[in-house]
Structure 1
Amino acid sequence: MVTELVKALTEFGPDIVEATGQTLYMVGLAILFATLAGVPIGTLLVVMDRGHIAAFPPLRAVLAFVVNTGRSVPFIILLIALAPFTRLLVGTSLGTAAAVPPMAVAATPLVARVVETALREVDRGTIDAAVAMGASPWQVVRKVLLPEALPAVVLGVTIATVGLIEFSAVAGAVGGGGLGDLAFRMGYQRWEAGVLLACVVLLVALVQAVQWAGESLARRLNHR
C-alpha cells in the first residue's frame, strides 16, 4: 500500500497537486458564499421568532420552510437541478468553477441552521438589557448576538466546511474537478490504486486540518 502511494505521488504528482488545488478552490469559495448568505438567514430565523427583537412569525415560517427544503434535497440531485442556473452564472455546468454554485447553495441551509442554534444559546438577559438601554434590533444583532455566539458560529461553519469537502468529492465524480474527479478517473476507471489512496489520504488530511483550525479559532474567540 505504501509502495503504491509513493509510486502514485511520483508518477502523478502534478495531477494530484492540481486536483488538491481545485478542491481547495471549490470548498473555499463555496463556504465563503454560503457563510455570507447563511449568517443573515440564520440571524433572521432567530430575531423574527415569536417574542424576539424583530418578531415576524409568518415571514420566519416561510424562511424556515425554504431552509428545511434546501437541507432535505440530496446534493447529487441539487447538482443536476441547478445545472441551468450554473450555466447562467459561469457559462458551463462542468468543471471546477461550475461546482461552486451548487455547493454554496447546498451549504447555505446548513450554515443558517448552525447560526440559528448558536444565536439561541445567547443569554436572553443580555439581549433584554441591550434593548432596555435603547439598542435597536440591528445594534442588538451586531453588538450582542453575533459577538456572543461567534465561537459557536465558527464551529458551525467548520462543520459546514467539512461537509463541503465531501460535496466536492461528489461534484468531482460528475465532472467537477478536484480530488473526487481524479479519484474517479484515475483511481476507479483506470484502477490506479495508488492515486485512489492518495486522494483518500488528502481528503482525510483536509478534513482534519479544517477541523483543527476551526476548533483552535473557536477557542481563541471564546472569552467566557
Structure 2
Amino acid sequence: MTSGIDSDDFAENHITCTRQWNDWIYRHMTTSVEFKASCNETLVVVQQVIDKAGLGLSVAWLNEDEFESLSRNPESKLNWLNYFPHYLHEESFSAAFKVTGSQNVEGAFLSIYSVADKHLHLFMIESLVKDDASHPLKGRLTALAVIAMTDLLASIDDSVGAFIIQPDPDLIGHYNKFGFSYRQDQNVMHADFNTLTSVQRNILRRANLRVDW
C-alpha cells in the first residue's frame, strides 16, 4: 500500500517551497535592514535639526526596557507597553524614537511602516514635560515627529503618507496644524507625503521649531 505521492514530485515540491521560504526570508531581512538604515539616517537628520535650534536635546532609538519604564512613569498617560511588539509582523517595521534632555526619556513616539499600504502609522506620541513651559521640548515634539516621519517616508520608494491612529480628541485641532485631516469613520488622521513635505519645510524655516500658525 502506498500513499499515492510520487517521491520525485514530493522532493521537487519540497525544494520549491524551501526556495520560496528562503527567498521570503532574504527579502524580509533585506527590507528590514534597509528600513533600519533609513531610520538611523533619519535620527541623524533630526539630531542635526535639534542641534541647529540649540535645544540641548538628543534623539535616539527607544528600546524595550524604556517601553517598560514609560509604562511605569507616573507622568505617562499612555499604555506604551501594550503597543510593544504587537504590530510587528512580516508586512510592518517599527520606528520607535525617544527625545531626552538628560538621562530620562522626556518624549517619545512609536510609528509602524506598513509595506502593504506604504504608510507610516503613528500609534503613540507623548511628551512627559508638556506641563513644564520652560522645557526645550515643550511645544516641539509633534514638529520633531513630523520632521522624522517625512524624512523616513522620503527614503522609502513609493511612500504614500502617514496616519495618526486613534488620536486624542483634544489634540485633533493640534494635529490639523501639521497637515493631518480627521477621518471619523476610521478614527484616524491622515496626511499625504506631499502635505507632510510642505509642513516639514515650514517647520524648518522656523529657527525655534515652534509651530504656532
Q: TM-score, normalised by structure 1?
A: 0.25
From the two aligned structures, give the one with the greater strand fraction: 2
From the two aligned structures, give the one with the greater helix fraction: 1
Q: TM-score, normalised by structure 2?
A: 0.26
If asked which structure has higher relative contact order (CA below 8 Å, sep 6+), I would say 1
